[in-house]
Amino acid sequence: MVSSIPKDSQSVSELKEFYRQMVLIRKFEEAAAKAYSVGKIGGFLHLYIGQEAVGVGSIAALTPKDYIVSTYRDHGHALARGLNPKPLMAELFGKGTGISKGNGGSMHFFDRNAHFMGGHGIVGGHISLAAGIAFASKFKKEDSVTICFFGEGAANIGSFHEGLNLAAIWKLPVVFICENNHYAMGTPEYRALAVKDVSVRAYAYDMARDHIEGDEVRKVKDHVQVAVERARRGEGPTLIEVSTYRFRGHSMSDPAKYRTKEELEAYKKKDPLMRARHELELGGIKTEELDKMDLEIQSQIDEAYQYAETSPEPPLSQLHKYVYAEDK
Amino acid sequence: MAILTYREALNRAMVEEMEKDPLIYLMGEEVGHYQGAYKVSQGMLDRFGEERVIDTPISENGFAGIGVGSAMVGLRPIIEFMTWNFSLVAIDQIINSAAKMNYMSGGQFPMPIVFRGAGGAGGRLGAQHSQAFESWYAHCPGLKVVCPATPKDAYGLLKSSIRDNNPTIFIESEVLYGSKGEVPEQEYTIPLGLGEIKRKGTDITLVTWSRALGFAEEAAAILEKEGISVEIVDLRSLRPLDENLIYESVKKTNRALVVEEGWPVAGFGAQIAYLIQKNAFAYLDHPVERVTQMDVPMSYAANLERMSLPNATRVADTIREMLQ
C-alpha cells in the first residue's frame, strides 16, 4: 500500500473526519444488512461497502448550498452529506419517522433542507435531473453546484448522453461522478463498455474530464474540488470517473457469483477505510484513539437501529397523502 | 369577447403567466428561434429572451429531465413536446421522476411542471405521428391530465396547469390548433377537474374530451333533426375527473356513450364505463357504449385512416342503436 502520510495537523484532522464518516457508513450498512437478513428491511438493499471514499471525498468538496443527486445506492452519499442516521435507518425500516416518511425506502432517501436531491431508482434517469437542478442554479444566478453520482452501467443509457450533452452546451454547473465499480449488477464492464474508460466520453461533449482511483479519500476530494470550482466559475461540467469496488453483491439478494474470491480479496486489500486508518496512524494518531472512535460510531448506529425499530409505521392516512402536492 | 384560434389562446395563456412569474420558462424543440413547430410559442422569444424561451436539441428524455430537476428547486417549467408521439422517449422522466417525486420523498418535492404539445390522430401522418396518448398518462397517479377542446378552455386550463404544483400532462389537439372560438378578454382560469355540459339534452349522455367533442357535436346536430336529444359532457381534464357531472347527466338521460380518439383496449373510456356502471347502475337503460379509434396502428391511406378514426356518422349510428 502506497501511503500518503498527512503532513500537518489540518490534514490529519481532515482525514480523521473522513475516516469517521467512512466508518459511519460502513457500520450503518452492516447494521442494515443484519436487519435485512432478519426481515426488518424489505425490498432491495444496495450496499455501498467498499466505495465509501468516493462519496465522502466528493461531498467534502461541497458547501451546504450545493446539491447532491444520488442513485439507488444512496446510503453512503446521504451519510456523507451529514444526514442523521436515525431517520435514514427508519426509512429502511419503512417507518413514519424515515427521511422520506417511509414512502421512499432504501433507494429513495430525500432531504430538501440538506439539498440531498434523492436517491433515484432508474439507472441513469437521474443524470438529466441533476443537469436540471444545475440549470435552475444558472437560471436563478445562484452559484450552487450540483454533483451527480452514477455507476458505469448508467453510462450506457441514453439519459447519460442526453444529460451530458445538454449540460455541456449550456455550460451548467454540474459535476458528473461515475463510480465505476466494474459491475453493472452482474455484467462486468468489459462486456458492456465499448471503451473501458468512461471518462473519455467527456471528449464527445467537449467537457473536462478526470479519472482517479477511489480508495484514497483525500485524493477524491482534491480532484472533485477542482471540478466543483470549475463549475462554480461558470466554466461548465466535468465528467469524473472514480475507479472503486463494492465488496458485497449488487444488492443483498445477489451472491455475486460472477466474480472470483481472489478478485474480491485483492480489492479488500485496498479497502479505503483500512487505508485511511493506516495513514492516520502514520500521521501520529494512536490505534486506541481510532478504536475508541469506532466504538462511538457503533453506539451511534445502535441508537439509530433502536430508533428505527421502535418508531411507528406511517399512519394509514398517509397512503393517499402525497400523491399530489398542496395547491400553490 | 375576442375570437382567437386554439393556438393563440394557448400562446396568450403562456405569455400572461410568464409575465407574472419570473420562475416560469418554456423549453422544447424549436420553441424559440423557429417560433414553435406549430407556432404556439410565436413571438415569445422576442418577449422573454433566450433565458426563458429555450431551444433544445432533439433529446426529449434529456430536456424532460432538465425540467423535472429544475422544478425540484423551485422553477416552474413548461416543457413542450413537439408532438406527444415523441414523449414516449421521455416517459421515464414523466412517470418515474415527475409523477412520483412528491410521493416518494414524503411530500418534500412538489412538481410544478407542465408537459404540453400536440397530440391526437389524423392528418395522414401515419402510424408513428398519429396517436392519442391521454389514456397512457391518465393511468398514472401523480399526474394530472388535461385535454382542452376549445380555445376558451385551452386558455383557462393552461393557466391553471401552469399554476398547479403538480406535473400536468397538457395534450393539445393538433388538428384543432387553427380552430377559432370566443375567448373572454378578461383574464380567467378554469379549475382542473371541472367538466362542462357543452350541449344540453335528454335522451343520452355523450362523454368526451378534446377533438372528439367535434364528432360529438356534429352527431348531436344530425340526431336533433331526427328528434333525438343528446347531452354532451366535455370532461376537459381526465385527472382529476369530474365524475359527478357524468353521473348527474346519466341520471337524467339513462344512457351513456363515450367518444374518444384513442384506442379501445384499456382506454380511458373503459374507465368511464366502469365508473358509470359502478355508481349510476340503477339509472341505466342500456349498457355503456364506446366509440373509439379502431384497434389498429394508423394507416397512411386516406380511406383507411378515415375508417380508423371515430367520426360523427359512427357516433350517430351508435346512438340510434342504443335508443332502439
* pLDDT one-digit tens code per residue, B57-105: 999 999 999 999 999 999 999 999 999 999 999 999 999 999 999 999 9
> Cα-Cα-Cα-Cα dihedral of A145, A117, A73, B142, to 10°?
-140
What is the phi-psi region of residue B39: left when phi exceeds 0, alpha when psi lies from -120 to 50, beta otherwise? left
Which residue segment(s) compose the domain that A84 sits in?
40-266
> Among residues B16, B30, B129, B218, which one is catalytic?
B129
Q: Is B129 a catalytic residue?
A: yes
The span from the CA of B213 to the CA of A184, in Å, is: 50
The span from the CA of B119 to the CA of B84, in Å, is: 5
Contact at CB, A162 and B104, closer than 8 angstroms: no
* CATH class of the domain whose range is B196-323: alpha beta
The span from the CA of B67 to the CA of B59, in Å, is: 12
In-domain check, residue A318: no
In-domain check, residue A99: yes
Q: Is B8 a catalytic residue?
A: no
Closest CA to A172 of A134, A208, A216, A123: A134
Residue B123's pLDDT band (boundaries 50, 70, 90)? confident
Mean pLDDT of A209-224: 97
Nearest chain B CA: its distance from A315 CA (Å):
12
Mean pLDDT of A106-124: 97
Residue A327's pLDDT band (boundaries 50, 70, 90)? low
DSSP type of residue B282: G
Q: What is the ipTM of this complex?
A: 0.96
In-domain check, residue A241: yes
Helix A272-282 × helix A217-232 angle, to 10°: 100
Mean pLDDT of B153-179: 98
**Taking 80 as the threshold, does the pLDDT of residue A53 lie above it?**
yes
**Taking 60 as the threshold, does the pLDDT of residue B21 lie above it?**
yes
> How many distinct structural domains can be found in chain A?
1
Q: So what's the architecture of B2-183 in CATH?
A: 3-Layer(aba) Sandwich (3.40)
Helix B6-20 × helix B151-163 angle, to 10°: 30
* Domain limits, CATH 3.40.50.920, in chain B: 196-323
* pLDDT one-digit tens code per residue, A143-177: 999 999 999 999 999 999 999 999 999 999 999 99
In-domain check, residue A29: no
Q: Which of B72, B93, B106 sits opposite A133 (nearest CB)?
A: B72
Q: Which long-range contacts (CB under 8 A, 24 or more apart) does B270-279 make?
A: B271/B138, B272/B207, B272/B246, B275/B243, B275/B246, B276/B246, B276/B247, B276/B250, B279/B243, B279/B247
Q: Which of A128, A166, A322 sits opposite B107 (nearest CB)?
A: A322
Quick one: pLDDT at residue A6? 87
Residue B187's pLDDT band (boundaries 50, 70, 90)? very high
Residue B40's pLDDT band (boundaries 50, 70, 90)? very high
Contact at CB, B96 and A121, closer than 8 angstroms: yes
Write the CATH number for A98. Answer: 3.40.50.970
In-domain check, residue A286: no
The angle formed by the CA atoms of residues B144, B149 and B150, to the nearest 5 degrees, is 120
From chain A, the residues in CB contact with B111 under 8 A are 325
* Domain limits, CATH 3.40.50.970, in chain B: 2-183
Tally of CB atoms within 10 A around B199: 18
In-domain check, residue A98: yes
Tally of CB atoms within 10 A around B164: 23
**Taking 60 as the threshold, does the pLDDT of residue A293 lie above it?**
yes
The span from the CA of B129 to the CA of B120, in Å, is: 9
Q: Nearest 5°: phi and psi at A243?
A: -80, 125
Closest CA to B291 of B255, B275, B267: B267
Longest dimension (CA), chain B: 60
Determine the residue of chain A that is closest to B192 in CA distance: A327
The span from the CA of B72 to the CA of B23, in Å, is: 12
Tally of CB atoms within 10 A around B294: 14
* pLDDT one-digit tens code per residue, B211-226: 999 999 999 999 999 9
Q: Does B96 touch chain A (CB under 8 A)?
A: yes
